[in-house]
Structure 1
């Protein structure tokens, strides 16, 4: 709980989003290019990203698909996923793409470069995790997963769509790890602390981006400015 509160909510979400706020307020990059879209587009993106993520989760035949276990683990990893998307894709990927566009690089090359850097960063940072997520094989695998998340983020331009997909991808490793450690049984009933922490993380994220991340101009439909 301390790690979740300090590392993910404070550093990975609050402080990182303050930087995102400056990106948008300065006109460096618009909030829509950073994946923060209208409510309607966000709902559609979440349904698509979440549906695709769940399908891939189910196809890999996880140790359990018990709805209670899945809900608990989904809630457990959600604050971490929010921080990962904000730092790797919004702050690093979004700013790199905008910088390359400002320097005159072709839009597709700029986006592709940002996608690669974000995905590699996501994979490499797992060396700081505990086993089994800090091995070379796992880092390579997670980099590939990062490419999938990045495609949804950069192509769909939706933070929340990428988050829904990414969190389901995280379930696969965590559920398997719990099964191997014999801890899956403790997740077979609702765990209020996990659910409450996830809810707080979502409310903090939505509150910051809706209330404080503002463009210096009102972007019109079809506007392709950086």
Structure 2
């Protein structure tokens, strides 16, 4: 209820008026049934603009710290993420990635849309980085189609570290659903999971026009000592 109130009445109309989203391929998102939206990740605002333009509710996961802040700022952050349909996940332990996937799998089994960033973190420089195989495991476990979603300029609207976004038309390009049911009997096969993930990343590269880098973005953000 709060999600739709924010999207349709309180916040959504203002965001659409200010940022005038231009979306190509919106009809590629199935109108019913479980769907995985696999998005490139350029900006904090990706999790705002992606649900904004979809006709169905989209659920992302976010670190639990966004929901536990103190004071007015913490309350506003918590209300925003709850209203955006985001589910908190504790990312402090070694099982954090699995907890996120389990949460999204539950969303899919309920017949809804789950959003995921295969890169696992925001791009440090606007390029597209190697995808983690969680998106493939999610597709194999749920049987849901994967719809690639390319955010084209959110890094210009709200670069990393910027609190106040620049007013600019947000642009998005959505590809045709990818069906991986042919791999239904290959769950747990890491080579199949890598092949599926690479296919998804190839589609995101083609849709976004961004240069692809075959390393994990997290390694650039947190380089290991030699």
The normalised TM-score by structure 1 is 0.29
TM-score (norm 2): 0.29
Q: Greater helix share, 1 or 2? A: 1
Question: Higher RCO, 1 or 2 (CA under 8 Å, sep at least 6)?
Answer: 1
Greater strand share, 1 or 2? 2
